[in-house]
Amino acid sequence: MKKNTPLIIDDIKAAATALSNDELVAIPTETVYGLAANAFSEKAIDKIYQTKNRPQTNPLIVHLHDVKELPKIAKTIPKEVELLAHHFWPGPLTIVLEKSDAISTKVTAGKNTVAVRVPNHQMTLALLRSLKFPLVAPSANKSNHISPTCPEHVYNSLGKDSPLILDGGTCTKGIESTIIGFKNNTPIIYRLGSISKEDLEAVLGTSVQLVTHEVSSIAPGMQKKHYAPRTPFITCTDMKVELEKYPNKKIGGLFFTGHPLAEQMTHYRVLSSTGAVEEAMANLYRMMHELDELGLDIIISELAPNQGVGASINDRLTRASS
Ligand code: TXA
Ligand code: MG
């Protein structure tokens, strides 16, 4: 539903003015909406942590308009980074690098590494080009809520703390960027996202290890309880079996693709009627938000096929269900 609030704007200049005054602005990207601040202003960065109720231990991603800006942010740039940037930027790949002195430890939560990406959204690229500084931007939701994929989600999650929201429509990718880093020159995925492991491996010409939250304190945002709806949420491999466990409950079904059982339910969503993983990914958070607003007793979700970005969808569904 369209929210009637003067906070949702399409004026890039007004957004730039607010950001230059150390205010926050929610910005559109191809993945999810970000809660942006001047990456060089500690005062502005503090506001991000306050507004989101974000633990100080969880570092932020720096957003640039061009790979040429990278030397200002990162000290050493491994040769694979040029290759990755060439293939995936602008786009949903975040790269973790040794930070430059210009980057405050407030951005990196005390680490000597910084996460950085060039987002693929024309409005936000135009905004970034008009600014004298890069932007830090975590997803524009309260900590542990589902990430926002349209301006209304931002407004609903941040409520009275909502800043100006630059309306760039619905996010086309629909889940966060994939995060990659290097350890002794070996690439490691810290977070699965809208670029698949297979696509990264094809470009790098080598297999890439996935370091999940259990073994990693490297991406502290990846604790298990994350991306969660408020309604109890579970995943299953057989919807029929799972439904039978909850008689007399108001159940919402989240199906990967069309299913005969869906027609018998009052509340359900289908991520992709043709079973296309990219489409399912783009619909995932919106449908989770929609089911979450129905006042159900429980949401039961099928898992996606575990290939390509299907694995990223399953990562989010599993985290939501903890
Ligand atoms: O798609 C995205 O990446 C979105 C849009 C707005 O760009 N942003 C986003 O930010 O998802 P956030 O804050 O919700 O997630 C940032 C993730 C966290 O898991 C954090 O731990 C990780 O990036 N991160 C940030 N700096 C890091 C670093 N130096 N090393 C490892 N992980 C880092
Ligand atoms: Mg987030």
pLDDT along the chain (322 residues), means of 10: 81 98 98 98 98 96 98 94 97 98 97 98 98 98 95 96 98 98 93 98 96 57 68 95 94 95 92 98 98 97 97 96 84
> Best substitution site from 107, 179, 285 to test ligand 1's pocket, by max atoms within 8 Å of Cβ?
179
What is the pTM for the complete model shown? 0.95
The arrangement of strands across the sheet holding 164-166 comes to 8-9, 164-166, 25-27, 34-38, 135-136, 61-63, 113-117, 93-98, 178-183, 186-191, 209-210
Paired strand residues for 300: 234, 253
C-beta of 152 in contact with ligand 1 (< 6 A): no
C-beta of 190 in contact with ligand 1 (< 6 A): yes
Helices (H) and strands (E) in the chain, counts: 11, 15
pLDDT for res 217 = 53
C-beta of 28 in contact with ligand 1 (< 6 A): no
Take atom 13 of ligand 1 and give the residue whose Cα is closest: 138
pLDDT for res 228 = 82
The alpha carbon of 139 and the centre of ligand 2 are apart by a number of angstroms equal to: 4
Q: Tell me the C-alpha distance between 11 and 310, whole Å.
A: 36
CB 62 within 8 A of CB 116: yes
C-beta of 29 in contact with ligand 1 (< 6 A): yes
CA distances in angstroms from 276 to 133, 282, 315, listed in the order given: 38, 10, 17
pLDDT for res 44 = 98
The alpha carbon of 249 and the centre of ligand 2 are apart by a number of angstroms equal to: 31
Ligand 1 atom nearest the C-alpha of 54 is 13
C-beta of 141 in contact with ligand 1 (< 6 A): no
Q: Tell me the C-alpha distance between 143 and 147, whole Å.
A: 9
pLDDT for res 184 = 87
pLDDT for res 215 = 41
pLDDT for res 216 = 46
Cα 245 to the chain's mean position, in Å? 32
Q: Which residues surround ligand 2, an ion (CB under 5 A)?
A: 139
Take atom 27 of ligand 1 and give the residue whose Cα is closest: 115
C-beta of 108 in contact with ligand 1 (< 6 A): yes
pLDDT for res 220 = 57
